[in-house]
Amino acid sequence: MLFNFIKQYTHLKGDDVLNFISETNAINGLSDVIVKGGVCLYNSIKYIYSLAEKDFYNINIKDTFKIILNNITEADSLKALGLRIDDYTCREMNSPEYNRVLPLIVYCLAVRIPTLKNVRCDDKCMTDDQIFRLYNTVIAKGAENYKDIIPETFLETKYLVRKGKPLPPFTADWYKVFIYSSVPSLAEITNKNMFLLGFADVLFAMFYSCFEEELHNRVIEYAADNSSDTDDGG
């Protein structure tokens, strides 16, 4: 039913379609960017939590932002600062319940895939079918909206994009709701926990801005590869 709903709103003509040398490779590559971006955000939160254990006054918080935002798909870029994520520094996050945060993060990135409709290369853009394939590929790789904690959906984002309306801000609100409802050890009022939640508010917004740019650039790169191949063949 969902597939049919999307199909009926496909209006692109053949000349407007953004083609790839291998659509399968492009879809897999873009889905990897989304998953790796999710892992980067997930691990970055852990590293920041570990920072508050003993390195709060030893590491400039601006440096952590620079490293994260300049390495948007690198899972462990903050290791460069000597930080580590283990049972000593962030044992509260090493639990089966907290592990659900990773598929949730990837899901909250996946539901925004329809924004790729706004990426144009030589006045061409991805079709609804391509975008839906990409979304399904990311879901197949483990993205999940556990207990429907994330209010956004793929179809709602698709509607907003089609109407040219702004998307809701990319915030850490759902993350904090999950913490308060499912991870009581992180919901306790402690300096470390309050630092984590405050940092998450800033990180989520800044991260998404850089991630969106990275993903859009990757779409253009895949399209440019196809254009180069066509030019060479001609």
Give the pLDDT means over successive 10-residue stretches in the chain (234 positions): 42 67 94 98 94 75 93 93 88 93 98 95 90 98 97 97 96 97 94 92 96 95 68 46
Report pLDDT for 12.
47
Interior angle at CA 61, CA 55 and CA 64, nearest 5 = 95
Q: Which residues contact 72 (CB under 8 A, 6 or more apart)?
A: 37, 40, 207, 210, 211, 214
Q: What is the pLDDT of residue 15?
A: 54
Classified as helix, coil or strand, 34 is: helix
If phi over 0 gives left and psi between -120 and 50 gives alpha, with beta otherwise, what is residue 148? Answer: left
Cβ-Cβ contacts under 8 Å for 212 (sequence gap 6 or more): 112, 115
Structure confidence at residue 233 (pLDDT): 46
Q: Output the pLDDT for position 220.
A: 92
Give me the pLDDT at residue 119, please.
92
pTM: 0.88
Q: Which of 16, 229, 227 is nearest to 126 (CA)?
A: 16
pLDDT at 18: 84
**Of how many residues is the chain composed?**
234
Closest to 183 (Cα-Cα) out of 172, 198, 171, 193: 193
Distance CA 224, CA 122 (A): 9
